Structure formats: structure tokens, C-alpha cells
Amino acid sequence: MTFLLLTPDNGRMTNASSSRPARSRLRGGRGRRTGSRPASISRHEDPVRDLAFDIVCGVVEHRRMLETTLERSTCEGRDRAAAHRLAAAALRHLGSMTELLQPLLRRQPPEPVRCALLLGVAQILHLQTPPHAAVGTIVDLLHRRGLSPFAGLANAVLRRVVREAETLKEGLDDARLDVPHWLWSAWGRRARSITQGFYQEAPLDLTMKPGCEVPEGGETLSTGTVRYPAGTKMTELPGFAEGQFWAQDMAAAMPVRLMGDMRRKRVADLCAAPGGKTAQLVCGGAEVVAVEREKSRAQRLKDNLARLQLKAEIVVGDALRWRPSEPLDVVLLDAPCSATGTLRRHPDVLWIKRPRDITTLAAGQDRFIDAAYEMLKPGGTLLYAVCSLQDEEGPQRIAHALEDGRWELSPFTEEELAALPRARTEEGYFRTHPGMNVAQGGMDGFFAARLIRR
């Protein structure tokens, strides 16, 4: 099969993966060529592009999480960080870049080739890579990966992107294209405001241990979180080795802060890894049992608490089956969820999740809420939280829990959310999304509600 580059007089093509016609675009003259020589066909090593390619192919072809591919890689240090940045840029702009490429291809190439083209466009449009390098590195990548028959196609297509970028981008609604249709519809009126924070690299947010000095360069936010610019390495900040702080997005840090005085309270932190909320509870004076099902995640939780010099009882077990020896005062349930609220840090989540996943997760969340009921003493408190933007995993789960009369809603008050008033809903829930406070660096999407066992 031959894949041809469209020329101005080839007319308008129809996307093979869509029933709607490609957008008509004005195509100018030949323009300036990229560099003075054809792109290199050398096959030298390039661990950054190789890993970025593996990440994007894993997401697009296999619905494999970005972090899974990273964990399997032997790439380290700067190469690993650069590959993550490149892959994340491609995934953030996947929809709009796919649309931009559409009129340049007579037929859709195989998925690995499309992934390589997406990495090339991401370098050209979003990472300010020099044009000759953006083109040449992708041509080299295709040769290394046994896709040499498509190297010419990539060379021609990417050179046209360099020459005609402004024309090709004309009329594109990036925000709409970069979110799958089902998610855009599910978010409703919030959809466009959610995407306002999507394209920013997330800053580094820290939660400090009480009494510890804030490392230089941090901005203390109204909620108490300390924020550093995107790209800051936590491990290089003074006080890391001494366990004076841990990484935790400002939205993720709020649920525990909304639990009030935890001194001498007996608390279970369910699905506790990596341990940020456990650490908050321990620092607040609670007697904490941290429950985590997966051994590897439980080990990570243990290691994090050891660095922080904090103590909690760690139980490796299924929170749906585990029960305390006697009823608890409080249960913190950070339930397994779609994690759509973390799309700034994990843009792969947009392309991995499906509507049926939300249905399955919601049913599991109901079971966790039922389990929490059995752990609490009468009058005990459940703090339910998810890093999800989906109504099915937030408000609808609370409405379902309240139906049988076993729970009573304890709304968060205006005073409790005075530091972040926009996060309080009419029902008294806590709810954030990535488009909030964008000028200050934004935040993850989070939902939390407080229930009392009758």
C-alpha cells in the first residue's frame, strides 16, 4: 500500500477513521524548505525519542498507562524526563494534531507511524525543537524501528508542517479536539473551563510537616500548600532527605484539611498509597491504620513514611474485606477511580479510559462506601474522595449512598472552604478541576464529601 502526501491540487480527503470530511484549508506556495539538506537517515541511538515513542504507542495502541511504560524503561535521569515531556506533549495535543495531519495524508498510516508523526508535530509546534532536528529525529526513529518504508512520508509531511503550520492550524478548536467526545459530553458546561488548565505542565506542590522551614523558592498558597515551578525536582530541595515535606497537589491535600481536628481519633486510610493523606493524618495527631491491597504500593507507602519519620500501622489487604478490631472514629476513602482529574500530570488518562470503565468503577465505589460503613462506629465520619471529574464517581455516588438512610450528609461550610471558596458546591461538596486558578498554576480535579454514619 502506498501512502501519498497530498499536494494543493489533490483536493479534500475524507478521514478513514471518521465519517465527516476533512476541513478545507487554503494552501499557499512552496514556502521555505527545512534546512539545506535532506533529513538524516542515520540510525544512531536516541533514548529520548525511543522511550517517547514507546509511551505514545503504548497509550494509543494498547491503552497502556504512561507510567507503566516509564517503569519498564531502563532510561534514567535527563533522558527519562525529556522522554516524558515529549510524550506528554504529544498526548495533550493528540486530537488536534491528528486533525492537523489529516489533509496531509491520502491514507491513514499504521498506528506506529502515526505515533511517530505525532511526536514530530509535537516537537515542531509545542516544544520549539529546531525544525531540522524535529524532522530528522523522527526519520531516524522510523529507521531504527523497522519502519523505513515510511521514512520518506514522515520527512515530507513534517517538512510541510514546518512550512505551513499557521495555515494547517487555522480553524482548529484545540480544546475540543484534544478531549474525547464522550468525556467532553460528560463534563457538560464545565468542559471548556476544564481544558483551560490542561495544557500547562503541573507545578510541584508540597505539603510541609508542621514546624519545618519552607525551602527557598516556594510560594505558600492560601490553602497551606507550598508551590514550586513546573520541573522543580523535589529530591534536590533542602530538607528532602530529612523528611520535611512530601509531594501532594493542592487539591489532593484539601480533603484531610477538611476533616477537622484529628487528635487522638482512630482513623483508617483506605487505598492509602502513596501515603500523602496518611502523612497528613499522622501529623494531625490521628492514630492511623493505612490499608493498601497491592504489595508494591504498600512498600512505597512504607518507604515514604520512613523518609518522613512518621508512624502508622500498615495493612496489606483488600479494604473491601478488611475490618478493624473495633469500630473507628473516621474512615478516609480515597477510592479507586478513573483519575480524570489528574489529566494535567497524566494526559494518557484521556485516551485510556472508556465509558464502561466509569460504570465499573462507580459500582466498586459503592462497595467501598458500604465497607466503610461497617468499619465506623455510630456517629463516625466517612470522608469520601476521588481524583475524578466524572459526576458518576462524585455527586452520584453520594446521592446513591444517601438513598437508604444509613448515612447523613455533613456539608462543608463556607468557613471550612474560605481558602478556596470556588471549590464549594451548592450541596456542600468539595469539587475542583484543572481550570481553576490557572493563573496561579491550577490544580488537579478532585471531589470530596463528608458523610456521618447514622
The predicted structure's pLDDT at residue 445: 98
**pLDDT digit string (tens) for 211-254?**
999 999 999 999 999 999 999 999 999 999 999 999 999 999 99
Beta-carbon contacts of residue 418 (< 8 Å; ≥ 6 apart) = none
The predicted structure's pLDDT at residue 44: 75
**pLDDT digit string (tens) for 358-409?**
999 999 999 999 999 999 999 999 999 999 999 999 999 999 999 999 999 9
Take residue 22 and report the three cell numbers written for it: 476533512
Under the banding of pLDDT at 50, 70 and 90, the label for residue 27 is very low
Q: Under DSSP, is residue 131 helix (H, G, I), strand (E, B) or coil? A: helix
Measured CA to CA in angstroms, residue 335 lies from 233, 284, 366, 381, 416 at distances of 28, 21, 10, 15, 22
Q: What number is the average pLDDT over the span 286-305?
A: 97
Catalytic option among 57, 75, 337, 387 = 387
The predicted structure's pLDDT at residue 200: 86
pLDDT over threshold 60, residue 35: no
Is 23 within 8 Å of 99 (Cβ atoms)?
yes
Burial degree of 211 (CB within 10 A; 0-12, 13-18, 19+)? exposed
Under the banding of pLDDT at 50, 70 and 90, the label for residue 43 is low
Under the banding of pLDDT at 50, 70 and 90, the label for residue 15 is very low
Residues paired with 35 in a beta bridge = none
Is 335 within 8 Å of 451 (Cβ atoms)?
no
> Is 9 flagged in the annotation as binding?
no
**pLDDT digit string (tens) for 311-342?**
999 999 999 999 999 999 999 999 999 999 99
**Residue whose grid cell is 508542517:** 161
Closest CA to 255 of 381, 75, 397: 381
Instruction: Output phi, psi for 446, to 5 deg.
Output: -140, 150
The predicted structure's pLDDT at residue 16: 35
Beta-carbon contacts of residue 423 (< 8 Å; ≥ 6 apart) = 251, 254, 417, 430, 431, 432, 436
Q: How many Å apart are CA 207 and CA 227, to the nearest integer?
A: 9
The predicted structure's pLDDT at residue 345: 94
**pLDDT digit string (tens) for 148-200?**
999 999 999 999 999 999 999 999 999 999 999 999 999 999 999 999 999 98
Q: How many Å apart are CA 6 and CA 8, to the nearest integer?
A: 7
**pLDDT digit string (tens) for 92-115?**
999 999 999 999 999 999 999 999
> Is 273 flagged in the annotation as binding?
yes
Take residue 81 and report the three cell numbers written for it: 524526563
Please state the length of the chain: 454
CA-based radius of gyration for the chain: 24
Our answer to whether residue 212 is catalytic in this structure is: no
The predicted structure's pLDDT at residue 39: 41
pLDDT over threshold 80, residue 17: no
Q: How many Å apart are CA 286 and CA 395, to the nearest integer?
A: 28
**pLDDT digit string (tens) for 46-96?**
999 999 999 999 999 999 999 999 999 999 889 999 999 999 999 999 999
pLDDT over threshold 60, residue 41: no
Summary mean pLDDT of the chain = 91
pLDDT over threshold 80, residue 9: no
The predicted structure's pLDDT at residue 323: 98
Q: What is the pTM of this model?
A: 0.88
Is 350 within 8 Å of 91 (Cβ atoms)?
yes
The predicted structure's pLDDT at residue 333: 98
Percentage of residues in the chain with pLDDT exceeding 70? 91
Q: How many Å apart are CA 426 and CA 443, to the nearest integer?
A: 21
Cis peptide before 274 (omega within 30 of 0): yes
